[in-house]
Amino acid sequence: MVTSPTSAPSSASLAPTAFVAELHSRWEQQHARWEQQRAARLPQDRWRQPRPVVPGEPSIFISYMREDAVAARRLANAIERLGGDVWLDEKRLRPGDAWQRETLTAIRHTIRLFVPIMSENTEREDEGYVFQEWREAVDRARGIPSRRFIVPVIIDEDYQGDPSRFRHFQDDFGRFNFGRAPAGEPDAALCETMTDEIRAMRRTDAP
């Protein structure tokens, strides 16, 4: 019988110490091959190579759970009325790897403002794609010290101003100012914040 190069050595042909050492050596070689294969499968943008902004790409990304889709649409409409160019990814309502890669790439490289919607719906979940979006945004925000990048928005109508009720976000979003948009309708303070950010984007884009 032909023996595979990765098959375990025979314990009968090696002393116990040499047998264990040989197993460990082969495991390290196989692990290195697995890591090389995994790295080859990862998209190149995962390593955050700079990507130029394409004119016409939306600059404000609203991240939400499907249960909050109606409120997310109201918020998007309100921001558009203020002059913002909004990315509301309604493709999330159906499964698909392509749109997930597209949104993560945008969060890592091209959007100018990330707006995560927080609600009692997000509190009921312990995992989900939306949280991956949030982790990507927080990771990118660490490299943007000079301007606002994340504006968390709370849409619960019974919210009384205490963000500690949102257990998921104390470590990630606790240092940001929270906006209010009950049922998706932004209050005056959030409208002012969004207006300021939209104006700042236009000044940056001006020739």
Q: Along the 207 residues of the chain, how does pLDDT read in single tens digits?
A: 444 444 545 545 556 676 656 665 665 666 555 555 544 444 433 333 333 444 456 789 999 998 999 999 999 999 999 999 998 876 544 555 566 778 888 898 889 999 999 999 988 887 788 888 988 998 898 888 788 899 999 999 998 877 777 766 545 565 667 899 999 999 999 999 999 999 998 887 766
C-alpha to C-alpha distance for 134 and 187, rounded to whole angstroms? 23
CATH H-level, domain 54-205: superfamily: Toll/interleukin-1 receptor homology (TIR) domain (3.40.50.10140)
Q: What is the pLDDT at residue 190?
A: 96
Beta strands in the chain (DSSP E): 60-63, 86-88, 113-118, 153-154, 179-180
Q: Half-sphere exposure of 172 toward its Cβ, with a 13 Å CA cutoff?
A: 21
Report field, pTM of the whole predicted structure over 0.95: no
Q: What is the pLDDT at residue 55?
A: 43
Q: What is the pLDDT at residue 27?
A: 57
The residues with which 114 forms a beta bridge, in sequence order, are 61, 150
Closest C-alpha to 41, from 109, 125, 97 = 97
Q: Say if CB 116 and CB 149 are below 8 A apart.
A: no
